[in-house]
Amino acid sequence: MYKKLIAIGIGSVFVSIGINVFILPLQLVTGGITGISLIINYLLGYKVGVMIFCLNLPIYLLALGFNRSYFLNAIYGMVLSAVMIDLLFPLHGMFHLPIILSACLGGVFNGIGTGIMLRQHASQGGVDLFSLILAKWLSLNPGIIILVIDASIIISGILLLQNDTAIYSLFIVVCSGIVTSLITSFKRIIVYV
């Protein structure tokens, strides 16, 4: 049980670093509830973590009947991610990298964190939860489902924000989706010596 909680915590830290170090400083957008929260932050100034919590709460309340054990892990992952994103905000702008590199690294960090949490049957937000439910019903990889939904949110962000850098957000979604997919499909290997 403690290993699972620690793994979810590590996943949350990866996501928070990806958001605060690479994505937020350049006003890029991710997918999912986090992407919607980033768009709201850029347009209205609300804290990203607070918006993640507020937008996810109704989704998690609806998901309570899905699987109580999963629900508890998922709510822990979502709350911890929301808190960590706001707590690690001082990392904002820590590095000044080319935008394409920031977008890719933001996607990789987000994908690692998301993948770690999904392997523990937890998530950082409503789209992850939705993808796990769909993956179970349709026998699809959750990383691919997240990729499709996230791309839709990115396109909305590009249209709403109307800035030149928003197109780089597509790199975040692709990198995040690929890394999440790799981590969630990785099988444990046992080597006997």
Q: Give the tens place of pLDDT for each residue, 81-136.
A: 889 989 998 888 788 899 999 999 999 999 999 899 888 877 776 786 777 777 77
* pLDDT for residue 169 is more than 60: yes
Count CA within 13 A, CB hemisphere, residue 52.
Answer: 29
Asked, for residue 190, whether it belongs to a domain, the answer is no
Lowest pLDDT segment from 51-55, 81-85, 147-151: 147-151
Q: How many domains does the chain have?
A: 1
Asked, for residue 89, whether it belongs to a domain, the answer is yes
Asked, for residue 72, whether it belongs to a domain, the answer is yes
Among candidate residues 127, 121, 3, the one with its CA nearest the CA of residue 69: 121
What DSSP string describes 29-96? --SHHHHHHHHHHHHH---HHHHHHHHHHHHHHHHTTT-HHHHHHHHHHHHHHHHHHHHTGGGTTS--
Asked, for residue 191, whether it belongs to a domain, the answer is no
Asked, for residue 16, whether it belongs to a domain, the answer is yes
Residue 193 has a pLDDT of 45
Residue 39 has a pLDDT of 92
Asked, for residue 177, whether it belongs to a domain, the answer is yes
* pLDDT for residue 164 is more than 70: yes
In the numeric block, which tokens belong to residue 112?
């690692």
Residue 191 has a pLDDT of 42
Query: What value does the mean pLDDT take over residues 35-64?
Result: 88
Residue 108 has a pLDDT of 97
Q: pTM (2 decimals)?
A: 0.82
* Residues 152, 155, 161, 164, CA torsion sign: positive
d(CA 38, CA 29) in angstroms, rounded, equals 6
Nearest-5° Cα angle at 183, 179 to 188:
155
d(CA 190, CA 116) in angstroms, rounded, equals 19
Return the DSSP state at 185.
H
Tell me the CA distances in angstroms from 145 to 84, 89, 140, 172, one per residue in order: 25, 29, 7, 15
Full domain range(s) for residue 101: 2-185
In the numeric block, which tokens belong to residue 27?
């006003």
Return the DSSP state at 120.
T
**Percentage of the chain lying above the pLDDT 90 cut:** 35
Asked, for residue 192, whether it belongs to a domain, the answer is no
Taking a C-beta distance cutoff of 8 angstroms, is the pair 134, 125 a contact?
no
